[in-house]
Amino acid sequence: MPDRLLVLVRHGQSEWNLKNLFTGWRDPDLTPVGIDEAIAAGKRLRAEGYSFNVAFTSNLSRAQKTLDLMLEQMGETNIPIICDEALNERDYGDLSGLNKDEARVKWGEEQVHLWRRSYDVPPPGGESLRDTVARTLPYYVKEILPRVLNGERVLVAAHGNSLRALIMVLEKLSPQGIMKRELATGVPVIYHLNPDSTVAEKLDLAA
């Protein structure tokens, strides 16, 4: 019976996560903590007996490095890796690079909260979560899901909001529900899919 395995992993802590900055499409590296998170995720996947046929990631180095570190721990550095900006983090536009507390001073607590937690209100020059879903979901349907349904074991290392776009569909969450869905850095979320692409089984592989 085909595995129909899909594993999603948010990249390890980045330098800008640590500094409480809006990151978006900017490209900071992982912190030492983020490196450890990625290594630990790979070790947990290996310990649970998971292996993969193909991996997907974004065009941003923090996700790519997380993926490389996980695959190294699993001894799977030779599998195909497909990078695409469709899996990039939500673009925070004019907020990118700003400290979140400084943004609240500039625009007000209520406005920044709206940009961060609403489903369809984008920050200036950036994307709402709805925009991110519109970018990420078609790529998932065209490029990732068919491989899973064909029995390939697929690993995706990406970002909090691009992965929320996939989780929204997989877990059948409403726009309100997906905004409340937390996604920890470096924790594999494992899905086994039914032949109709619905979720048969889900597991968070936390430490």
Is 89 a known active-site residue? yes
Catalytic residue, from 37, 76, 89, 127: name it.
89
Read off the tokens for 155: 């690993």
Is 11 a known active-site residue? yes
Query: What is the C-alpha separation between 40 and 42, in angstroms, rounded?
Result: 5
Catalytic residue, from 11, 37, 76, 159: name it.
11
Query: What is the C-alpha separation between 82 and 152, in angstroms, rounded?
Result: 14
* Residue (of 42, 15, 18) closest to 157 by Cα position: 42
- Distances from the Cα of 207 to the Cαs of 17, 123, 140, in angstroms? 20, 34, 27
What positions carry a catalytic annotation? Answer: 11, 89
